[in-house]
Chains A and B, each alone.
Chain A
Amino acid sequence: MAEPMRIRATLQGDVADVRILMRHPMETGQRKDAKGQVIPLHFIQNVVVSHNGKTVFDAQWSQAVSRDPFLGLRIKGAKAGDKIMVTWTDNKGDKRSDEATVAPPS
């Protein structure tokens, strides 16, 4: 169901600049549909990023994060070809994992 993320990881010195774009409605539970029914809360609660299998970043989110969330972070001690794995979990228990490799500086 969940669509793939777009992950870009670029090396700058020995730091990998990671940019992630997720696809998710991020419903706040405050909006109403055309019939006036409240659209239930539906949002990504947790994003975990690992670098070569080691967890380096763990984000807890609320429904205030925008639709189709963007996340930027920096990983130290990275090399070109390193594996970056991103997993999100939403409040309905849906999950999605995607992997990217660190690209050399362009």
Chain B
Amino acid sequence: MKRSRRRFLEASAGTAAWGAAAALGLIAVMPAGAARNAAGFDSKAAAEAVKHLGATDALESKDIIITAPDIAENGAVVPIAVTSKLPNTQSISIIAEKNPFPLAATFDFGSGAEGYASVRLKMGQTSNVRAIVKADGKFYTAVKEVKVTVGGCG
């Protein structure tokens, strides 16, 4: 009980800060301390997380390559790499659609970094892994299914 109350407080504080920052037009300004998308990270459904990323109208793109195993034997450590060949890639988000909190990571790139990030995730069950790329102000997406034989959320 106590924990859920704290989560709620954190979430509402985070959302308020996010809203304030958006109002001031601070969010578009990248490097150095991009505001945390608390609402996105607290989303419990993939569609909700996508909405909080502002990417509901993302286009499918073949220029996004998700490198992940077809079958992950250990859900606690699933290596996932995303490469974006889209020009002017600003950020990459990774969503494990069936995780309790689907949004796993958002990577923001300054001008000095290539549109590539590699990370290891925990996955509770077999699920689509969705990458959402923001490039030149527009959103693009790609998806890959990863089968998980032993879940990693226990």
List residues of chain A with CB under 8 Å of any chain B CB: 15, 26, 28-31, 38, 40, 45-46, 48-49, 51, 54-67, 69-77
Contact = CB atoms under 8 A, between A and B. Distances in A.
A60 B110 contact: no
The 6 A-B pairs of least Cβ separation, nearest first, read A72-B118, A56-B112, A64-B104, A74-B114, A55-B31, A56-B110
A38 B6 CA distance: 14
B110 A66 contact: no
Given A60-B34, A72-B117, 8 more contacts: A15-B114, A45-B36, A54-B112, A57-B117, A58-B31, A59-B106, A64-B104, A76-B113
How big is chain B's contact interface, by range? 35 or more
Interface string B9-46: 00000000000000000000011111011000100000
B153 interface: yes
Interface stretch (B54-62, B119-127, B132-140, B142-150): B119-127
26 contacts: A26-B122, A30-B100, A48-B32, A49-B113, A54-B112, A56-B109, A56-B111, A56-B112, A57-B108, A57-B110, A60-B41, A60-B106, A62-B104, A64-B99, A64-B101, A64-B121, A64-B123, A65-B104, A65-B119, A65-B122, A66-B76, A66-B77, A71-B117, A73-B114, A73-B116, A76-B112
